[in-house]
Amino acid sequence: MKISTVYIFLIAVIVVAIVSINLKTSDCVTPKKPPKGPEPERTWGPETNGCVMSIKAEKEEIPACERIIIKIYIKNVGETRLPIVERDIYRDITFNIEDEKGKVASLTSFGNKMMKPSTVITRGGFDLQSGDEVDYQKSINRIYDMTCLGEYKITAKRNILKRDEKGNLVKDENGYVEVEVVSNTITVKVTN
């Protein structure tokens, strides 16, 4: 049976469309002003170049078979816009995860595939205005091995473009300079 080129092309277009929709809807971000009224209680990491980051686990105790969902909040506390460049949904925000003995969690087989160095292609970006924040959600035990029972300390990191005191992006001979923003540290417990 001979499959026509048009048929193969149509299947390829459908597959690309489905993958694009999944990527766009799974990690869509929209900068937003914090909700009116009292600001949600969050513990922020240290300020870096007018930016702070906070993480919070969806649950503090998680059975070993469930996904560990971490919510990540990035806020512009500076006085000028903060450009957020998005390159890769898995490598833009990384995590340092340590068990009770201080051993760093290794990557899962999926995490190894996703974290492999590859050509960095910018997916897009947006400006986070002064006072605005953006949030993400990650299932971290899909990327990091957290199969052992016990407590894990988790900290997130993300690079942002460095700004000078006037809000201009800083460049050197290699291009734009980036600085690392670090979140607060949280603890989750993996149970039976």
Express each pLDDT in 120-165 by its tens digit.
Answer: 566 688 999 999 999 999 999 999 999 999 999 999 999 999 999 8
pLDDT confidence tier of residue 14, bands split at 50, 70 and 90: low
Q: Model pTM?
A: 0.78
pLDDT confidence tier of residue 70, bands split at 50, 70 and 90: very high
pLDDT of residue 23: 41
pLDDT of residue 63: 96
pLDDT of residue 149: 96
Q: Which residues pair with 178 in a beta bridge?
A: 161
pLDDT of residue 188: 98
pLDDT of 65 higher than 50? yes
pLDDT of residue 151: 97
* Pairwise CA distance, residues 74 & 84, whole Å: 10
pLDDT of residue 19: 43
Q: Quick check: 77 and 47 in contact, CB under 8 A?
A: yes
pLDDT of 24 higher than 50? no
Cβ neighbours of residue 28 under 8 Å, at least 6 residues apart?
none
Q: What burial class does residue 97 get, using C-beta atoms within 10 Å of its C-beta: 0-12 exposed, 13-18 middle, 19+ buried?
A: buried
pLDDT of residue 76: 96
Query: Which is more confident, 31 or 154?
Result: 154
Rounded average pLDDT over 112-118:
82
Rounded average pLDDT over 31-53:
81
Radius of gyration of the CA atoms of the chain, in A: 19
CB-side neighbour CA atoms (13 Å) of 25: 6
Rounded average pLDDT over 97-122:
86
Query: Which is more confident, 63 or 28?
Result: 63
Of 156, 164, 167, whose CA–CA distance to 128 is shortest?
167
* Pairwise CA distance, residues 93 & 188, whole Å: 18
CA dist list (Å): 104 to 95, 134, 146: 10, 28, 10
CA dist list (Å): 175 to 21, 81, 146, 147, 169: 32, 19, 37, 40, 10
The CATH architecture of the domain made up of 5-191 is: Sandwich (2.60)
Domain boundaries, the chain: 5-191
Instruction: Average the pLDDT over each of 36-45, 58-67, 84-93 and give the range with the smallest value.
Output: 36-45
pLDDT of residue 100: 95
